Chain A
Amino acid sequence: DSGVTQTPKHLITATGQRVTLRCSPRSGDLSVYWYQQSLDQGLQFLIQYYNGEERAKGNILERFSAQQFPDLHSELNLSSLELGDSALYFCASSPRGGDQPQHFGDGTRLSIL
């Protein structure tokens, strides 16, 4: 158990819809990362937050947004969903960000029908 909690484990929805994925980092970790894992693109970094502030952006689409709340949990919002958004979405956390080891949650599997 990494200590990173992601909910829900599975989501099934339709094209055009909007969903919210939730992540609680390990106790004491201030930094949260979001990744997308798909068969054709591999594991792609989306965005990082540190203590409530956005720190780095990767290959995140404009239809996607995220935030980190004062209690340090984070949410990833995906809107106007397309079939190609079907993937595993992982959250990871680390104590202070930077290049410290990241610990991953078990992911949310998103299926778009």
Chain B
Amino acid sequence: GEDVEQSLFLSVREGDSSVINCTYTDSSSTYLYWYKQEPGAGLQLLTYIFSNMDMKQDQRLTVLLNKKDKHLSLRIADTQTGDSAIYFCAATSGTYKYIFGTGTRLKVLA
């Protein structure tokens, strides 16, 4: 079935760039999303990319999509302690469903 995979943990120093990676299996996914979840909170939509795009930049966030390899990445420039959270990648499956990855826990060290 459809699957989305992410590494579980990432640790970076404040001010460095963070790169969170995601792979997905459904080649028909038309949109791919990144969500952020802080402790005790819901999922906040960070950004998304349409499948016919290679890159999307939104302030400190850059999303790269390699459709051939079904690989998605989220780069956070100048990472701050407030960026510490769990980041979820999600791919659309069919016309109704999101498939979420397991989430990557980002820890930013001061």
Chain A residues within 8 Å of B, Cβ to Cβ:
2, 4, 33, 42-43, 45, 48, 55-56, 58, 90, 92, 97-107
Is A99 a contact partner of B42 (Cβ separation < 8 A)? no
With beta carbons under 8 angstroms apart, the residue of A42, A97, A104 that contacts B43 is A104
Chain B residues within 8 Å of A, Cβ to Cβ:
29-31, 33, 35, 41-45, 48, 88, 92, 94-103
Is B100 a contact partner of A42 (Cβ separation < 8 A)? yes
18 additional A-B residue pairs with CB within 8 Å, beyond A98-B95, A101-B45, A107-B41? A2-B44, A2-B45, A42-B100, A42-B103, A43-B43, A43-B88, A43-B100, A45-B99, A48-B97, A56-B97, A58-B97, A92-B43, A97-B96, A98-B96, A100-B31, A104-B35, A104-B45, A106-B42
Q: Give the CA-CA distance A58 to B33 in the complex, in Å.
A: 19
Is B44 a contact partner of A104 (Cβ separation < 8 A)? yes
Q: How far is the CB of A26 from chain B (nearest CB, A)?
A: 12
| A92 surroundings in chain B (CB, below 8 A) | 43
Q: Give the CA-CA distance A102 to B44 in the complex, in Å.
A: 9
Q: Give the CA-CA distance A57 to B74 in the complex, in Å.
A: 29
| B31 surroundings in chain A (CB, below 8 A) | 99-101
Is B42 a contact partner of A101 (Cβ separation < 8 A)? no
| B98 surroundings in chain A (CB, below 8 A) | 33, 45, 102
Is B42 a contact partner of A90 (Cβ separation < 8 A)? yes
Q: Give the CA-CA distance A25 to B99 in the complex, in Å.
A: 21
Is A104 a contact partner of B42 (Cβ separation < 8 A)? yes
| B35 surroundings in chain A (CB, below 8 A) | 104
Q: Which 10 A-B pairs have the closest CB atoms?
A: A56-B96, A99-B92, A43-B100, A104-B42, A104-B43, A106-B42, A99-B31, A42-B102, A99-B30, A107-B42
Q: Give the CA-CA distance A101 to B44 in the complex, in Å.
A: 11
Is B100 a contact partner of A105 (Cβ separation < 8 A)? no
Q: How far is the CB of A55 from chain B (nearest CB, A)?
A: 6
Q: How far is the CB of B58 from chain A (nearest CB, A)?
A: 13
Q: Give the CA-CA distance A100 to B29 in the complex, in Å.
A: 12
